[in-house]
Amino acid sequence: MATITFRPARTVSLLMAVAIALVLVGCERAETPVKASKPSAATERSPATVPKYPSPTPRQRPYPPKLPVDLGAEPLKIAFISYANPQQVAKDIGPFVKYLEPFVGKPIKGFVTLDYGSSIEAMRGKQADVAFVDPLAFMMAHEQIGAKPLLLEVYGSGRPRYHSNIWVRTDSDIKTVADLKGKTIAFADQIDMSGHLLPRDIFVRQGLLPGHRLEGAFFKQVYFAGGDEQAIRAVMNKFVDAAGVSQYASLLLRPEERDEIVAIARSIESPSHLVMARKDLSEEIAGRIKQALLALDPAQPEDKTILDKLYGVQGYAEAKLSDFAGVARVAAGYGFVKKPEVFAATGAQ
């Protein structure tokens, strides 16, 4: 498989600069959702309080039948992406694993990866049967190893979709994306749907940037900060003029800081972050996983406790290949997706 090597002509990492700035200003990291780029992502996480009485709200979906857990069976291996502290994520997945095991009837081994590439490679080497990824990672995994989409995450909007924004300071004289000509901008990472390709597509659609390569002459300087929080804090601390990251990135700031940042443009919508499965994972196991996750209802206190830990999502919706048609065309412009028509097929599953 060919290796993509990036040598952007005019990009500089902000990781060190932002880290130093955080120390100097004495900023404490705000309580945030686990997902920093995912939905990676949608709402702020807060510990769930389980009432001492049953929820009066009827369950929307029944739990699927439980099975005896065959302790001698090969474990189902699930890769969880780390959007924050890996040790915290490793602790947070415990209730989810405990919930899911009786529905799949076999032990579950959960582990944490630090990036989406690691999740893809783990699945390629059959070290992961299921993985939580973003849309770009899924599309690459589908083309490279035949990964299957199972479920999309549902965010606070109640929909399994999200978009990216161009963020600037409210005290800035920048009111439109055209005003950013000759200015500086920070994205999260080069291989990132919500933290790079979608916000860059805003400029492409307005004819301000070329749509076939990663760099252009419109900006004075382009930075890749390493994550949504680093990018939006670079705007907050006046290191850059703008940031192109997820619509939920402002939640990574402290509440009193959020009024100092405003979105001046939004991207096309993207399917949310999702759960994908290895190509040869049995349909029976994949179906049990889907039914168990679809049954999680945020109106039920016991379910909400699990969802709060699992990236703070509101639930799950079924996914199909055609959900990715729009973002596949964007990713194809940068060479990340080779055959966007695969995702655009009518009724593609």
Q: What are the pLDDT digits (tens) for 22-36?
A: 333 333 333 333 333
- pTM, to two decimals: 0.79
Output the CA angle 141-228-243, nearest 5 degrees.
Answer: 115
Is residue 156 scored above 70 in pLDDT? yes
Is residue 57 scored above 90 in pLDDT? no
Average confidence score pLDDT of the chain: 84
- Residue 43's pLDDT band (boundaries 50, 70, 90)? very low
Contacts of 171 (CB under 8 A, 6+ apart): 260
- Residue 210's pLDDT band (boundaries 50, 70, 90)? confident
Question: Do the Cβ atoms of 42 and 156 come closer than 8 Å?
Answer: yes
Is residue 278 scored above 80 in pLDDT? yes
Q: Alpha-carbon distance 21 to 109, whole Å? A: 38
Q: What is the pLDDT of residue 173?
A: 96
Q: pLDDT by residue (tens digit) across 67-80?
A: 999 999 999 999 99
Percent of the chain with pLDDT over 70: 81
Q: What is the pLDDT of residue 231?
A: 95
> Nearest to residue 36, comparing CAs of 334, 318, 243, 324?
243
H or E, element range at 94: helix 86-104
> Nearest to residue 324, comparing CAs of 152, 199, 159?
152
Q: What is the pLDDT of residue 56?
A: 55
Q: Alpha-carbon distance 229 to 137, whole Å? A: 20
Is residue 44 scored above 60 in pLDDT? no
Bridge pairing between strands 274-277 and 130-133: antiparallel
Q: pLDDT by residue (tens digit) across 243-260?
A: 999 999 998 899 999 999
Q: Alpha-carbon distance 330 to 201, whole Å? A: 7
CB neighbourhood size of 210 (10 A): 14
Q: Alpha-carbon distance 233 to 252, whole Å? A: 9
Percent of the chain with pLDDT over 90: 66
Q: Alpha-carbon distance 335 to 349, whole Å? A: 23
Q: What is the pLDDT of residue 42?
A: 36
Q: What is the pLDDT of residue 53?
A: 44
Q: Is 176 exposed, middle or buried (0-12, 13-18, 19+ CB in 10 A)?
A: exposed
Amino acid at 45: R
Is residue 216 scored above 50 in pLDDT? yes
Contacts of 22 (CB under 8 A, 6+ apart): 233
Q: What is the mean pLDDT of residues 16-22?
A: 37
Provide the strand spans (E) within the chain. 11-13, 76-81, 108-113, 130-133, 148-154, 161-162, 164-169, 184-187, 221-224, 242-246, 261-266, 270-271, 274-277, 315-318
Question: Do the Cβ atoms of 304 and 313 come closer than 8 Å?
Answer: no
Question: Do the Cβ atoms of 178 and 20 come closer than 8 Å?
Answer: no
Q: What is the mean pLDDT of residues 204-213?
A: 86
- Residue 59's pLDDT band (boundaries 50, 70, 90)? confident
- Tell me phi and psi for residue 171, to 5 degrees: -90, 10
- Residue 5's pLDDT band (boundaries 50, 70, 90)? very low
Q: Which residue would you say has higher pLDDT here, 61 or 177?
A: 177
Quote the radius of gyration of the chain (alpha carbons, Å): 20
Question: Do the Cβ atoms of 15 and 230 come closer than 8 Å?
Answer: yes
Q: Which domains does the chain have, with CATH numbers?
A: 11-28+164-268 (3.40.190.10), 76-160+272-344 (3.40.190.10)
Q: Alpha-carbon distance 140 to 135, whole Å? A: 9
Q: What is the pLDDT of residue 347?
A: 52
